[in-house]
Amino acid sequence: MKIAIAGAAGRMGRVLTRIVHETEGLEVAGGIEPKGSSAVGADMGELAGLGPLGVKITDEPLALFTRIEGLIDFTVPKATLALAELSAQARIVHVIGTTGIDKEGDEKIKAAARHARIVKSGNMSLGVNLLAALVRKVAATLGPDFDIEVLEMHHKHKIDAPSGTALLLGQAAAEGRKLDLTKSSVRARDGHTGARPEGHIGFATLRGGSVVGEHTVMFAGPDERIELTHRAASRDLFARGAVRATLWAQDKKPGLYSMADVLGLE
């Protein structure tokens, strides 16, 4: 299966090049970076520390879409939405790891999934998706006197907050509690906030250093607290998940799928 990587020179893009190259049945067929990027024309293998692969990064994705079967995309929302339209036209597999996509963007991705096979998740790792299933169960089991808070920490270069994973975990907690996350989430607290109302799901964001990604969901009740934590030790796990999603989606019908679908968790 011929694969292009969008954001090929980025932190995830370089790891993805290596993992795709190492995966039997997958071929690194192209890389995409924005116009004006100094990475355009660079050899993808060199960037990924593999030595030359003979595959160059382009800022003209259109031509690539005539010869690829899958696109793995860890970029920025604007790029992902433009690429999803091209994936729909080419009817290929599009795996989206990009976070920070708003509601309107999600609608565009849904529309693209009428023709493309799209797998989208705020976190492609097995561990986090398993954690989400646990969070849903714990939230449903514990009563409303257990307050739910989601804490995340990432490296200082991350540009969106809360992280896609924090929102995924918050959504799982909301489903367990039968809450609408858009109405019950509290994303910032400052000054005289008053006491914590029941039925809220709080988010707290930490940024610093080179932390790959750490998430804790807390259930704080009377006299006891349960904490469920995931810590990513490297970016390889996200890339492995994205590759698994690509292989899984190749024989599926057009549609929008989650990592829970890929992993058979729901």
Ligand X SMILES: NC(=O)C1=CN([C@@H]2O[C@H](COP(=O)(O)OP(=O)(O)OC[C@H]3O[C@@H](n4cnc5c(N)ncnc54)[C@H](OP(=O)(O)O)[C@@H]3O)[C@@H](O)[C@H]2O)C=CC1
Stretch that binds ligand LZUJQKHR, among 19-27, 113-121, 157-165, 247-255 (CB under 6 A): 157-165
CB of 73 to ligand X, least distance (A): 8
Query: How many CA atoms, within 13 angstroms, populate the side-chain half-sphere of residue 93?
Result: 23
Q: How far apart are CA 12 and CA 32, in angstroms?
A: 13
Q: What is the CA radius of gyration of the chain?
A: 19
Q: How far apart are CA 94 and CA 104, in angstroms?
A: 19
The answer to whether the Cα torsion of 104, 151, 265, 240 is positive or negative is positive
**Residue among 3, 4, 5, 6 that touches ligand X (CB under 6 A):** 6
Residue 37 binding: pick among ligand X, ligand LZUJQKHR, none (C-beta 5-8 Å cut-off by kind): ligand X
**Residue among 17, 87, 121, 216 that touches ligand X (CB under 6 A):** 121
**Residue among 164, 176, 202, 241 that touches ligand LZUJQKHR (CB under 6 A):** 164
**Residue among 17, 75, 121, 163 that touches ligand LZUJQKHR (CB under 6 A):** 163
The yes-or-no answer on residue 110 being catalytic is no
Q: Is 76 near ligand X (CB under 6 A)?
A: yes
By C-beta, is 68 or 95 nearer to ligand LZUJQKHR? 95
By C-beta, is 179 or 217 nearer to ligand X? 217
CB 14 within 8 A of CB 48: yes
Residue 173 binding: pick among ligand LZUJQKHR, ligand X, none (C-beta 5-8 Å cut-off by kind): none
Question: Which residues on adjacent β-strands are paired with residue 151?
Answer: 204, 216
Q: Is 246 near ligand LZUJQKHR (CB under 6 A)?
A: no
b/e 124-144 (16+ beta carbons within 10 angstroms → b): bbbebbebbeebbebbeebee
The yes-or-no answer on residue 158 being catalytic is yes
Instruction: Provide the residue type at 75 as one letter.
Output: T
Q: Which residue among 108, 154, 215, 230 is the active-site one?
A: 154
CB 85 within 8 A of CB 115: no
Q: Which residues bind ligand LZUJQKHR (CB under 6 A)?
A: 99, 122-123, 154, 158, 163-165, 213
